[in-house]
Amino acid sequence: MSLLLTGIGVSRGIVIGQAHVADGEPLEILEYNLPQSEIPNEVDRYEQARQAAKRQLRAVRDQIPEHAPAEIGAFIDTHLLMLDDEALSEAVESIIREQQCNAEWALQSQRDELVAVFDEMEDPYLRTRRDDVDHVVNRVQRLLIRGDELWNEQQREASAYPVVVAEDISPADVVLMQSRGVRALITESGGPLSHTSIIARSLGIPAVVGLHRARQLLRDGEPLIVDGLKGAVFANPAEREIEYYRRKRRELFKHVRELKSLRGQAAETLDGARIQLMANIELPEDLKLFRKTGGDGIGLYRTEFLYMNRPDFPSEDEQYERYQELLATADGLPVTIRTLDLGADKRALGRDHGPEDAHNPALGLRGIRFSLSEPNVFLKQLRALLRASADAPLRIMLPLVATTQEVLQAQQMIEVAKQSLDARGQDYDPAVPIGAMIEVPSAALTAHQIARQVDFLSIGTNDLIQYTLAIDRVDDHVNYLYDPVHPSVLKLISNILQAGRRAGIPVSMCGEMAGDPQYTRLLLGLGLREFSMHPSTLLEVKRVITRTNLRELRGKTRAFLRNADPARTPDLLRRLNTRH
């Protein structure tokens, strides 16, 4: 009898094969004190383990396939840099010396402190970076407790069967496993934004994460079907299920070939409406993928990455140079750059700004609130953005706007920045478009007033849904309630789109909802004409657009706005996507 298990599908593809259940025995981190005379040896033992971890990572980096995406090596380099960071070198050694404790415990103490900082971050991507801390710390702790041989043995075992089932897998181990024949991954923890998931997608390895108790429910050598799109795992499948998924796999290959043929084609509906498809850029490596998919521009460039992993804020010139590089890569296509969206979690970066008692960063000093509270930081970024606007088309977007007053205050700051550049005699585009990112219900409900003050609006659905439904989408205890098509969310989106039309300004959407092809027709029917998404989903959305007739959509989407029952929405969506 087959067993169906479900998790989060993070890398599409179908694999039929046997399971290798990896060693799931958790490390037991004991604390014990050492006499002063043994402290130098303990520090040396920790240093030896840290160096061994670096050797392991370098060995993995050497095995990256020649034509693999560049971000894979970058992620491994990130872990190498973390091992050299004083937070995992000098700080741990200090704990050993000051507390006269063993290295494993000192490292665990430092890990807990670092992870607590990431846990406070509101931004889902930044919060997921705690996984990187865990992967690096776990690697060193295993070396301290079990030595190098265990790692070698685990890698040999991993190639015994093509589907690896584990509590968690580091990005480096994903690379190594692929080189040894692993074809699919199942983990009990993790999320779609983790580096492990990103690398699995880059390498084309189907993966399901967040499948709780997978190691208890699946047996070593058991036949499995892994559906990385739906997040489904069939254990001991029947022959008819195997045949069904073989057929699905053939259809998937055909679908991928079809998507590739769309690269040079315009995103145009059957009745001739041209739709703008833009890319969200989260990492420099995303730019390469953007160029391959042929997007119309960059709809969201996140600047907070310029401020991470450093003790100080970037200078105006440094920011200007990064924006210039971005615009050069875009090669004349429009680029929307979002101003800094750090929150109360900025204390994590070792800076002195912000309140120390922010208990709920999601509702604290973040987005445009933070920038307005730090005028020197904000002005420095605005001057850099304005200077870059002299070179190529650029739009400036203000994040987490909640009121019209915030927009007016930000515009006053922009005027101050312009006057500063005038005094220096530096060029900029005096008409650079200024937009507001609508991602909280208060802004969505007053979008008509905000629209009169800006040149464009952009709907940030990730936060808009989170704040509207009071759901933390990265909390796997409640994220099943995260519903992009909840009637309340759709009414807010419709209100924002109407506000843009009445004000005569463009409205884009840059949240994950924009990149999910199951919502493309619904959003087109509501009036969205500019989508911005991760480059990896752009061709999927384009495919739906080229098969859609806008005139046939308008009547059908009214039913969504009349509906007040969330339980009915999936059926309405199914009809919209299947009958069109």
Cβ contact 225:242 at 8 Å: yes
Hey, what amino acid is at 35?
Answer: P
Closest-CA residue to 371 (of 357, 381, 384): 381
CB atoms within 10 A of CB 264: 6
Strand-pairing partners, residue 458, are 437, 508
Q: What is the Cα–Cα distance from 474 to 459, expressed in whole angstroms?
A: 20
First to last CA, the chain: 38
Amino acid residing at 32 = Y
- Total count of residues recorded for the chain: 580
Catalytic residue numbers, as ranges: 195, 510
Does an H or E element contain 148, and which? helix 148-158
* Listed residue (212, 210, 292) closest to 259, CA to CA: 292
DSSP 129: T
**DSSP 3-state percent helix, strand, coil across the chain (nearest 5):** 55, 15, 30
Residue given tokens 């022959």 in the structure block: 239
| Total Cβ atoms within 10 A of residue 221 | 11
Cα(436)–Cα(336) distance, integer angstroms: 11
Cα separation, 184 vs 205, in Å, equals 5
**How many CB atoms within 10 Å of residue 568?**
13
